Structure 1
Amino acid sequence: MDSLPDDCVSKILSYTSPHDACRFSMVSSTLRSAADSDLLWQSFCPSDYRRILSRALHPHTLDSSSYKHLFCSLCHPLLLDGGNMSFKLEKSSGKKSYILSARQLSITWSSDPLYWCWRTVPESRFKEVAELRMVSWLEIRGEIWTRILTANTWYAVYLIMKISHREYGLDRVACEVSVAVGEKVQSGKVYLCEKDEKKGKKGRVLKMEEEEVMGVAAKREDGWMEIKVGEFFSGENDEHVTMSLMEVGYQLKGGLVVEGIEVRPKHHHS
């Protein structure tokens, strides 16, 4: 390997991953030179990185002095489209992930202050989040095209949320979730928060419902909660992906705080 030209070694390393390239750089000085080359790190950057940069809210925060520095900068959340979408590269693989803010989602009755309110919270990466005051019909939908994702990759979809101290009714009925790619639809049921058996529920009913439920919201590292909506495969073709969460059982509910929907690479397909 040491006898090969640097550009040849860089080309070989481009078939590995950013994580592997960093490991190879510690083997020898020849590999270190090839592993730090612009040729290699340009191959790890998204092919549409110029378009992504053109959409950045604060492009001046990125270090583009080299392709390696640019790649590392893109591994940190980058606000796009006026701050309504967040983009990030997975550091180990270079695969793309996005978070659609609540403003980019279709939330039934979100424009009516009787049912929803929009407010700023310091812990959110976005300017505004949507807080549910009271509805009987909860419906949240998001859309994305596979052309902006990494091809031939399994993706998982999560609703990013919190439950306020004014919560009521969210643990009474399971929500229906679905991810549709073209004519392929994956669906299931989830609970937005833990069920409280002290609220007058009958154990028999709970047991029947739990057999169909995929899960409940779990805590994230950033302090928010997330609940899985589904997963899909991003292939070579450009396809339209629709993600939704719905509960239309006419149970009054409130206290749900929606930050957005995340679409991120899934490491193990189930």
Structure 2
Amino acid sequence: MQIHPAILNIMNQMRLMESDGSSEIKQVEQSSINKTDSSAKETEIAARKGGRTRPPLSFLSILNDANIEIDMSCPHKLCDLLYAGVYLKPNTLKYFVDKKSNKNCFAVFPREFYICWGENPKYWKWTQEKEPSGEDIEVAELLDVCWLEVRGKIDTIDLSPGALYEIVFVLKVYENPNDDIEKKHISNYTLTLTIIPPRVKRLSRQAILKENPVGNWFEIVVGEFIMSPENVGIMEFSIEEYTPTWKNGLTIKCAIIRPKK
């Protein structure tokens, strides 16, 4: 199998960095996923030295597919960039590598979601939130709905094979002192959280938000899955609550697809 010159260049630089008298190099599993064949495997190389992890080489195809060019002249800086994350779509879809597990991860932001009545300012409000890395993203703030339906999706083709993944929503709840008696805070309801894999049965769970702190971001697990050939394809995830009472008090920041810790 012929290796792409860009990959050879990175591999050679990694070897040079390891030639300073410390010869410990760990070659971690190699597998490949052929994007036209869900049963093929993905190629992955990792090496450890001084607590650093080299990211999976599949990052090249992920960035190429999104027409993203980055500086690959310094492996250390390249690793730091991938750990921090790269936006594949401006402020809506972010790719990053989990440093501890050396696995591919994604963050999906609300503008990529389907939100029922999401463009109606009577029901939802869109505001700017600054990420720790400095980028501005838009978050969706629930003003008033009785039909709560938020759906996202991710193509799992670029997730790391064999890894146990989880999908979490990053949320914030708030109290509105001006609510009348007919409006109920979202944390009083049982929400249905669902993931729908490409070829296997959907997975749903129930959750109540009242135990989470008001005014602070927190994570709520939607579900988990093993990145097997059966799970290659478009995976959907959602938050739903369909009772007729009007409800508010929820802000949605993003959904994260990452290895289970």
Same fold flag (TM > 0.5): yes
Alignment of 1:157-172 (within 5 A): 157-166=167-176, 168-172=184-188
- Equivalent residue in structure 1 for 2:163, among 150, 153, 169: 153
- If each structure's helix is expressed as a fraction of its own residues, which one has the higher value? 1
How far off is 1:162 after superposition?
1.1
How far off is 1:92 after superposition?
2.2
Question: What is the CA deviation profile of residues 84-140 of structure 1, one whole-angstrom value per residue up to 9, with x for unaligned ones?
Answer: 112211112210111100000111110111111111134575421111110011111
Q: Is the 8 A contact 1:18 1:93 kept in 2?
A: no
Instruction: Classify 1:122/1:71 alpha carbon distance in 2 versus 1 (closer, same or farther; 3 Å).
Output: closer
Structure 2 SS opposite 1:156: strand
TM-score scaled by length of structure 1? 0.69
- Equivalent residue in structure 1 for 2:137, among 109, 127, 135: 127
Aligned to 1:225: 218
Alignment of 1:176-255 (within 5 A): 176-181=192-197, 182-194=199-211, 217=212, 224-236=217-229, 238-255=232-249
Looking at structure 1, the residues matched to 108 and 51 of structure 2 have their Cα atoms a distance apart, in angstroms, of 36
Aligned to 1:69: 77
How far off is 1:251 after superposition?
2.4
Aligned to 1:205: none
How far off is 1:218 after superposition?
7.3
Q: Is the 8 A contact 2:165 2:260 kept in 1?
A: yes
Instruction: Classify 1:244/1:184 alpha carbon distance in 2 versus 1 (closer, same or farther; 3 Å).
Output: same
Gaps of 5+ in 1: 1-5, 26-34, 36-40, 195-216
Q: Which runs of at least 4 in structure 1 moved beyond 4 Å after TM superposition?
A: 9-12, 16-20, 123-126
C-alpha RMSD of matched pairs (Å): 3.3
Looking at structure 2, the residues matched to 148 and 73 of structure 1 have their Cα atoms a distance apart, in angstroms, of 18
Q: Is the 8 A contact 2:62 2:158 kept in 1?
A: no
Aligned to 1:45: 56
**Structure 2: which amino acid aligns with 1:188?**
R
Q: Is the 8 A contact 1:169 1:251 kept in 2?
A: no
Looking at structure 2, the residues matched to 189 and 243 of structure 1 have their Cα atoms a distance apart, in angstroms, of 14
Q: Is the 8 A contact 2:45 2:56 kept in 1?
A: no
Gaps of 5+ in 2: 1-14, 30-43, 178-183
How far off is 1:68 after superposition?
4.2
